[in-house]
Amino acid sequence: METQHRAPVRLGEHIVEIVSDSGEGAQKAGQTFGMVSAKKGNGVWTVEIIPAEIKPPSRSPAGASGIRVRIGSTDMTNMGDEADLVVAFNEQVLYGRIAQGAYKKGTHVILENKWADDPIEAIRGQYAAALQDFENRGYIVHELPMEAACREITPNPLLGKNMFVLGMLCHIYQRGLEEAKNEIALIFSRKGEKVISLNHRLLEAGEIFAAENLDLCYEIPPWPNDKPLIVSNGNQAIGLGVMAAGMETVAMYPITPATSASHYIASIIHKVGGCLHQAEDEIAAIGFALGSSYAGKTTCTITSGPGMALKTEFIGLGVMAEIPLVIVVVQRGGPSTGLPTKVEQGDLLAAAFGAPGDAPKVIMAAATIEECFHFMITARRLAEAFRTPVMVLTDANLATGVQPYPRPQVNAEWYPPPLDQSPWDKNTPPYDWDEQTGLSPRPIPGQPGGEYVLTGLAHTNYSKVAYDPYSNQIGCNMRSRKMATLQQTLKPPKIHGDPEGDLLVVGWGSTLGSIDEAVDRIRAEGRKISSLHLRFLSPLEPGLKEIFARFRKVMTVEINYSDQLDQPGITPENRRPAQLAYILRAMTAVDVDFWSTVPGQPLPPGLVYKEIIRIHDAMKGDV
């Protein structure tokens, strides 16, 4: 077939998916395509599509494994709505994505066609039925023998088809192959030149194959930006933040979706003089971290929801004993082991209240991949200044998503000060609480005179175990007063949109991009709707009650469970609120409304748009 020479169609953005069975490398192809696009100057946001089981049934909707890549000529802050183009290695995995509303009428489906001639009649029948169904849905299907073309390069297409598809995408989106070859060389650098060469040939073959077989050719101009950029996912940004903050010790136990943070840290932290300790379980990991911090190290532990549950008792020890510690929680769906590979914002209340007794702690939530980096520096500083555990919440969407952001300029002030080696004044108790702030200086064992007995029991300011009527009250007062002191240093959150209006949408975490994009669309239609996004969840940022008073209605949008009033048996009296709404209602005494959902995937801006419009329309009869 002759090579196509169609002039490229210029676009502002496009959403691409690669979907396959587990183990066929769709994520690696998509990540590389996203990386190449970012280095070409496009805004990029990626979302991995990961089945819940390690080896799900092949050719099944539940086994859909892949990646979504949104590329554009502006900053991409979320996964967008329906995809414009999808490459599928079989037709059944598409149904897993169709169930999540991933495609629209007019979506181009580039489909592996070997199943049409499969020796098993049932598979041939499934393929034929799916083709008819896809046509009825309005998809534009391109049946192609991708695997047969790969066999001309390698006898095992399962280990190379993904790079072949990468070559196809490079042709369709005018990427050129140089950047892609460089990325491939980096990815397979440990496997040697033979493997790199094979994948380069597959890449080139894919580019030629697309030119010969597809009449699809797009140009997405780069995002105007003269600042140096870095491209990473959220877990890598956490790892970079750990080192930029001068943290010397990271202790963790592998758990999805937090594990890749430890892989990244383990590969480089030794170069900056730190160490990563993989403990035998989650409890041992935080115990190691607390012990290290008590001895004067700057320390962090990283986990996900079930791991946070196991760490709970030690988190309480950190609060009671006032040991600085940064705890990163990469949220996933729950309860129990829940949805290990899916996104949810379900750990906020557990982070805030999941401890016996009164255990106030600082809780921050990163809203972007860039913030995953910078929040580690802030968290380390706060942990040590306020002598308390600081929790940083991210989620699976941030952890695996790839986005370019301004390259941080490392600042020496980000590092912790050197340990105080001067003798400790023995007349100063180890908890010399300031009556106004609750703060106290921190003696370090090894500092002459700085030794003290650490206890998780209620204690006096000399760290002596105490059961008298006053000591526990004083200790609780001081630990809570630190939260009030921190809150007084924070600024009110910025409002996205007008400072007053009909409806204020409040969010937290990785929903920032979708909420802002939805609100921008609605504001362009003339509706008086604004949004704000909270980064500090304990203590809350100040001024919320005054801000809320300027809007007729306030509602949260979240990815955790809440009851909706149209559900059977649900009344205004027994309705369970979403988690941020629960906190805002308690702390501001404002009747904050809420909308939330738990689909196991990030919120598309189009869905947020529809829900805001629905709620705003319902307000028309309100006085």
278-302 per-position pLDDT tens digit: 999 999 999 999 999 999 998 999 9
Inform me whether the pLDDT recorded for 457 exceeds 90: yes
DSSP state, residue 407: P
| 47 Cβ neighbours under 8 A, 6+ residues apart | 67, 68, 79, 397, 400, 401, 601, 602
Encoded tokens for 102? 């991933």
DSSP state, residue 536: E
What is the arithmetic mean of pLDDT over 475-484? 97
pTM of the model: 0.94
Residue 184 is inside which H or E element, if any? helix 178-187
Angle, helices 512-524/605-618, rounded to nearest 10 degrees: 50
Q: What is the pLDDT of residue 622?
A: 64
- Report the residue count for the chain: 623
Encoded tokens for 125? 């029948």
Mean pLDDT of the chain: 94
Residue 123 is inside which H or E element, if any? helix 121-136
- The string of DSSP codes covering 421-487 is -SPP-TTS-TT---TTT-------BTBTT------SS-B-TT--B--STTHHHHHHHHHHHHHHHHH
Compute the distance between CA of residue 218 and CA of residue 523 in angstroms, rounded to an integer.
Answer: 30
Compute the distance between CA of residue 91 and CA of residue 68 in angstroms, rounded to an integer.
Answer: 17
Q: What is the pLDDT of residue 3?
A: 52
606, 102 Cβ separation under 8 angstroms: no
Task: Identify which of 217, 215, 213, 194 has the alpha carbon closest to the alpha carbon of residue 205.
Answer: 213
Q: What is the pLDDT of residue 308?
A: 97
Q: What is the pLDDT of residue 1?
A: 47
What is the arithmetic mean of pLDDT over 19-27? 93
Compute the distance between CA of residue 590 and CA of residue 581 in angstroms, rounded to an integer.
Answer: 10
Backbone angles phi, psi at 129, to 5 degrees: -65, -40
Inform me whether the pLDDT recorded for 623 exceeds 80: no
String of b and e for 517-545 (b: at least 16 CB within 10 Å)? bbbebbbeeebbbbbbbbbbbbbbbbebe
* 59-63, 258-262, 389-393: range with lowest mean pLDDT: 59-63
Is 400 strand, coil or helix? helix
Inform me whether the pLDDT recorded for 224 exceeds 90: no
Task: Identify which of 292, 289, 236, 232 has the alpha carbon closest to the alpha carbon of residue 262.
Answer: 236
